[in-house]
Structure 1
Amino acid sequence: MQTSRMAQIEQQALKRYLEFDKAKKNAEANGGAASRMMSRSSIINMHDNLAMERIINHSDLFPIAYLQVGLNVSKAVCRLTTRNRSGQIESYGTGFLVAPSLLLTNHHVLHTYEAAQYAAAEFNYEDDVNFLPKEIVSFRLDPDKLFITDEELDFTLVAVHDIDAEGVKLSDFGYLPLLPQPGKILEGEYVSIIQHPKGGPKAVTIRENEVKFISSDYVHYVSDTEPGSSGSPVFNDQWVVVALHHAGIPHPEDDSKWIANEGIRISSIVRHLTQHQASAVDANGRQLLDQLLLDPAAVAAPMEIGTLEAQWYSGAAGYDPAFLGQGFEIPLPILNDERQSDIAETADGKKVLDYTHFSIVMSKSRKLAYYSAVNIDGSQLIEVKRENDKWYFDPRIPEEYQTGPEVYKNNDIDRGHLTRRQDPNWGMDAVKANEHTFHFTNCSPQHKNFNQKIWLSLEDYLLENAGEHDLKVTVFTGPVFRASDVVYRGCQIPVEFWKVAVMKKEDGSLSVTAYLQSQENLIGDLEFVYGGFQTYQVAVAEIEQLTGLDFGELRNYDALAASTVRVVIASREDLQL
């Protein structure tokens, strides 16, 4: 990399830094702090009880495991050695694995396909606990498989050979996943950087690196880096990669000094790769890129059974009837007398299980929920990462009244969320709400193909509109219980599911819509059948008749209140609001 190009990058970084410094002094630049804090909370591991204390109060307390995690992630960081055709070393940089066979570094470190052909990724170039050098493991890059570079965002993504000359596997060094959502770091927090300064042994700067400014594509932080650190991963306190380090920022009046450093936000890099995913690479390259961009929530993970401690339930107010505002109180629906006696009660006699932003009423005989009720605040929605597939029995009611994992093993039956995982994930308690949705009380047996088409599109429609228009929405969801429902592994599987959505329209009036979908064609043979199914918009009164629920005044605001005809929903345009 020519010196003039690096100087140009540094001057561009300085220009951005000065602009952000000026903007921050404007009171408007400080707006949205609460929103940023909520987004940041979605990245925190729920078991790190000290994390929020560090962020809010700048505490220096860490669980001791913090150090071990740092060592673990450091394995994926390597020194990049670039050579010319004659094999002479030209420069050093840093890179890190971001997928099983993909490495990320700066464009100015590997700016051409040819440069990648002659470069090597050297792992273990570091000292052990006795300050003796470890044995270096070197892998050749494989730009024929994948090579994507972007000068503006100053990144290069390149494939790496899976095995080195000695037979060592690249997979031994792991990789650092790139999370697409923003909000992984806040101004005023501290970052750590694992790097190869001046091409030397691996080193780390820990937490003495305050984040000064964050823009749409860049993060500015005060830290100790050297030439050769270009391409290093920048971590938050959870050892999640938040930026790709690429430049120091020179002092505007003394170019021998540095005032800060600049990194490219990971969310910007992932967004760029996603936008160019289909057109920029061939089929083989796209398969590699899919490993990086695949949503972890879309991967079926083995189900785990866990237990939440008592504090996870304390303070959970559940569904709020007054959520839509003054004059629009929407109480929970009331079950008829026959079904009232079948409600599973807590030890202290409560018939409603309250979670974060949603509530559930359970049936003892069916071991499933009669319904769930959730409040969705579109102005505060947070994208929460799905860590795993751990599900919980609710300890507040007997386990015998909850359908557990035995129904869902080794078949085509999914644990279908009633209150969808994303719906209650808003505000400061978004992480807690997300975890609360993974209770067996909040799921019902659904064929794996049931939720993949129009029903899912309907749920997306409700959530997207809540987010795009900052709407508040209340959604009730549940199964239709029939005596004729198929018995499978001791559980009667509902044939139909319903949903009632309530929101305020722009004119201040209520919009109430009800929907019904059947999985009857799918569960005739649970192991083999794939059948068609249909979603209908129906009158609220029909849901009441099918379920034994009383929605009170809601039926008066129903768009289909006077109709006895079901409307087939084949697309969003068919919805009658």
Structure 2
Amino acid sequence: MDNTQHDQDAEARYHRRAPERAARLDDAAKGIIDFSEMARLDTRRDMIHPNDGLGLERILGTSDLLEVNFLDIGRRAGRAVGRVQVRDGAGRVREFGTGFVVSPALLLTNNHVLPTADSARHSLLDLDFEDDEQFNPRPPVMFGLDPERFFHTNEALDFTLVAVRPAAVDGGAPLAAYGFLPLNETKGKILLDEYVAVIQHPGGAPKKIALRNNKLVDLFDDFIHYTTDTDRGASGSPVFNDQWQVVALHHAGVKRRDAEGRVLSVDGAVWTPPMGEERVAYVANEGVRVSSIMADLRAAAETLPAAQRALLDELFAGSPASTPASGTVTPLTTAERALELFQRVTGYEIGFLGPTVALPTLSAAQLADAAPRLDGRGHVLEYVHFSAVLCASRRLAYYTAVNIDGRKTKTIKRDRDVWYFDPRLAREHQTGPDLYERNDLDMGHLVRRNDPVWGRPAATANEDTFHFTNCAPQHKHLNRRTWLALEDYILNNADNHNLKVSVFTGPVFRADDMTYRGAYQLPAEFWKVVVMVKPGRELSATAYLQTQKNLLEDLEFAYGAYRTYQVPVTRIEAITGLDFGPLRDHDPMAVLESAGPARVIGEADDIRL
């Protein structure tokens, strides 16, 4: 692929700033402080994960240490990077490039890799084109590109954004299984002298990563320069900072030249044809800043048809600049965790209490609408100490089920909310941050954050609760004090030998639920069934119902009353369509004739056990 002009422009920028770079290095050696750089450092500090204790030290250059999870996060990031097969109309491979998935449907690469919609129409994206731990090649999974659905390119910034077909050409895992790399349109994600990493397919080879000799040496309005090793075919690669945020799109190189301006080879000799391009020595590489790409897309969005704007909205949803300061969405709201994290998770245990307490049974209609796992393993999603089953059409859980062990609970501070899509489900079966933006809706945990946080995997359990599969839209003024106190009260009154409780929770789906933003039906009621072992080893199953109906009638101004009720388990079965089996026989509301159809719960003492 011809990238001559971009290389020449990059070289011009590099050499024009040579005196400034030399002066900066001289000032640093003399201990002269650059106060403008200190201001940028404050911005950069805000982008470090609060749990990354060494992040600031790495930025300041006082430590090269990394947490070992750096490798895990990088491995996850690499899943969305693939080789672009640039093909002609006859299907012949002409060149290779690199690209990476940046939203549920869009791929980012260079303009000089895919300059036109026609070039994209015939080309393919290879994911998993890499070697495994034994250096054996993994079978690549190929995806077609869909420029009719979306195609936007900018020659000056050398980027192309194009839609990817969701299903693999060869029947492999779907595109959703690989996740994507969110683009943060905020500036300040990288500082001079920080290290970058580039995941790439050099020369069309299996996936590689450049981690060494990779300092950022210069910053421009639209470009950055860094010393990372790359090669032909690396065009279109993501350039990452130490937090694995994408800071640039790699696109060009700065050739090493002698005093007379002649290009040098890697062995120091003057490079001349027929020496191959791979023998050219480079002094730096250039990437297009993500903030500049996003600014161009923001401007372009105004002129696009609605369907294409919707695809860009998905892209912008992952950027903190698109999120109101008062919102609950964070830069990683649209993150997706690696499939490997779920391999050994068993989820809710039916024998946890001693007597068997099975998962609720779906009706035939519910089963037909249950969101299927992408791996073909049914529809139950297992997390640490809890499970969930989602309704595909409503994109919310039919129910969640959690085991709580009060003897082993741990306290984990909630530093911030980072919500995940579950890679085991298709993205269209999950709600995302767009439901919760610019309104009074909270991402309400169904399984409480503290419930599964016990035992050795407590930290993972805490993280697991922050999946979109475990949240539902709840008005911010919904008073959950009584609702949340229910489990604490029942846990404290459980058999002292066990101190164990199992809890089922979910929304009530009604046909007349309010339709919001033309895409979501908001549940007005939530239910909970709490199961414990009483003295004498008898089960007790109590059911509760809470409404936010008055609050949803006006999302901007309503402050209506809420109610929490204790109701018979059979009442929950009737309004949800779920079957709790023998639990209905262990319900005190069912055996006390005076209990009535429902009891208003104002405080814990109102509960009948």
TM-score for the superposition, normalised by structure 2: 0.51
CA shift digits 1:181-219 (9 cap, x unpaired): 111111011111100011111001114201100111111
Sort the Cα spacing of 1:128 and 1:447 in 2 relative to 1 into closer, same or farther, 3 A: closer
- Deviation of the 1:41 alpha carbon: 0.6
Please point out which of 8, 13, 20 is paired with 1:11.
8
Sort the Cα spacing of 1:386 and 1:143 in 2 relative to 1 into closer, same or farther, 3 A: farther
Give the residue type in structure 2 aligned to 1:528: E
- CA distance in structure 2 between the aligned counterparts of 1:218 and 1:89, rounded to whole angstroms: 30
Number of positions where the alignment pairs a residue of Structure 1 with one of Structure 2: 333
Tell me which residue corresponds to 2:246: 241
CA shift digits 1:41-62 (9 cap, x unpaired): 1111110111111111341111
Please tell me whether the aligned partners of residues 440 and 555 of structure 2 are also in contact (alpha carbons under 8 angstroms). no
CA shift digits 1:397-455 (9 cap, x unpaired): xxxxxxxxxxxxxx96769xxxxxxxxxxxxxxxxxxxxxxxxxxxxxx976x9xxxxx
Q: Map 1:61-80 to 2 at 5 A.
A: 61-80=65-84
Please tell me whether the aligned partners of residues 329 and 417 of structure 2 are also in contact (alpha carbons under 8 angstroms). no
**Where does structure 2 lack aligned partners over 5 or more consecutive residues?**
28-32, 265-280, 334-414, 421-438, 444-473, 484-547, 559-609
Matched, 1:179 2:176: no
Please tell me whether the aligned partners of residues 328 and 417 of structure 2 are also in contact (alpha carbons under 8 angstroms). no
Sort the Cα spacing of 1:220 and 1:301 in 2 relative to 1 into closer, same or farther, 3 A: closer
CA shift digits 1:289-328 (9 cap, x unpaired): 11001245467569x9xxxxxxxxxxxxxxxxxxxxxxxx
Give the residue type in structure 2 aligned to 1:9: H
Tell me which residue corresponds to 1:458: none
Q: Map 1:499-510 to 2 at 5 A.
A: none
- Deviation of the 1:227 alpha carbon: 0.3
Please point out which of 240, 243, 265 is paired with 2:289.
265
Please tell me whether the aligned partners of residues 78 and 94 of structure 1 are also in contact (alpha carbons under 8 angstroms). yes
- CA distance in structure 1 between the aligned counterparts of 2:142 and 2:202, rounded to whole angstroms: 18
- CA distance in structure 2 between the aligned counterparts of 1:112 and 1:531, rounded to whole angstroms: 45
Tell me which residue corresponds to 2:51: 47
Sort the Cα spacing of 1:58 and 1:121 in 2 relative to 1 into closer, same or farther, 3 A: farther
- Deviation of the 1:276 alpha carbon: 1.6
CA shift digits 1:504-563 (9 cap, x unpaired): xxxxxxxxxxxxxxxxxxx99434246769xxxxxxxxxxxxxxxxxxxxxxxxxxxxxx
When the two chains are superposed, the root-mean-square deviation of aligned CA atoms in Å is: 3.3
Please point out which of 512, 528, 551 is paired with 1:526.
551
- CA distance in structure 2 between the aligned counterparts of 1:190 and 1:106, rounded to whole angstroms: 22
- CA distance in structure 1 between the aligned counterparts of 2:556 and 2:37, rounded to whole angstroms: 49
Tell me which residue corresponds to 1:205: 210
- CA distance in structure 2 between the aligned counterparts of 1:531 and 1:105, rounded to whole angstroms: 41
Sort the Cα spacing of 1:300 and 1:30 in 2 relative to 1 into closer, same or farther, 3 A: closer
- Deviation of the 1:239 alpha carbon: 0.9
- CA distance in structure 2 between the aligned counterparts of 1:9 and 1:531, rounded to whole angstroms: 50
SS at match of 1:32: helix
- Deviation of the 1:87 alpha carbon: 1.3
Give the residue type in structure 2 aligned to 1:225: T
- CA distance in structure 2 between the aligned counterparts of 1:49 and 1:43, rounded to whole angstroms: 13
Matched, 1:216 2:221: yes
- Deviation of the 1:155 alpha carbon: 0.3
Please point out which of 221, 233, 237 is paired with 1:232.
237
Tell me which residue corresponds to 2:436: none
- CA distance in structure 1 between the aligned counterparts of 2:196 and 2:242, rounded to whole angstroms: 7
- Deviation of the 1:490 alpha carbon: 6.7
- CA distance in structure 1 between the aligned counterparts of 2:479 and 2:80, rounded to whole angstroms: 50
- State the identity %: 40
Tell me which residue corresponds to 1:148: 152
Please tell me whether the aligned partners of residues 80 and 94 of structure 1 are also in contact (alpha carbons under 8 angstroms). yes
- CA distance in structure 2 between the aligned counterparts of 1:209 and 1:288, rounded to whole angstroms: 33
SS at match of 1:17: helix
Please tell me whether the aligned partners of residues 217 and 264 of structure 1 are also in contact (alpha carbons under 8 angstroms). yes
Q: Map 1:487-506 to 2 at 5 A.
A: none
- CA distance in structure 1 between the aligned counterparts of 2:187 and 2:479, rounded to whole angstroms: 45
Give the residue type in structure 1 aligned to 2:133: V
TM-score for the superposition, normalised by structure 1: 0.53
- CA distance in structure 2 between the aligned counterparts of 1:203 and 1:141, rounded to whole angstroms: 23
- CA distance in structure 2 between the aligned counterparts of 1:243 and 1:15, rounded to whole angstroms: 19
- CA distance in structure 2 between the aligned counterparts of 1:18 and 1:292, rounded to whole angstroms: 35
- Deviation of the 1:88 alpha carbon: 1.3
- Deviation of the 1:273 alpha carbon: 0.7
Sort the Cα spacing of 1:188 and 1:525 in 2 relative to 1 into closer, same or farther, 3 A: same
Please tell me whether the aligned partners of residues 132 and 138 of structure 2 are also in contact (alpha carbons under 8 angstroms). yes
Tell me which residue corresponds to 1:289: 312
Tell me which residue corresponds to 1:56: 60
SS at match of 1:274: helix
- CA distance in structure 2 between the aligned counterparts of 1:231 and 1:103, rounded to whole angstroms: 10
**Where does structure 1 lack aligned partners over 5 or more consecutive residues?**
305-384, 391-410, 416-445, 451-485, 492-522, 534-577
Matched, 1:188 2:193: yes
Matched, 1:126 2:97: no
Please tell me whether the aligned partners of residues 205 and 223 of structure 1 are also in contact (alpha carbons under 8 angstroms). yes
Tell me which residue corresponds to 1:379: none
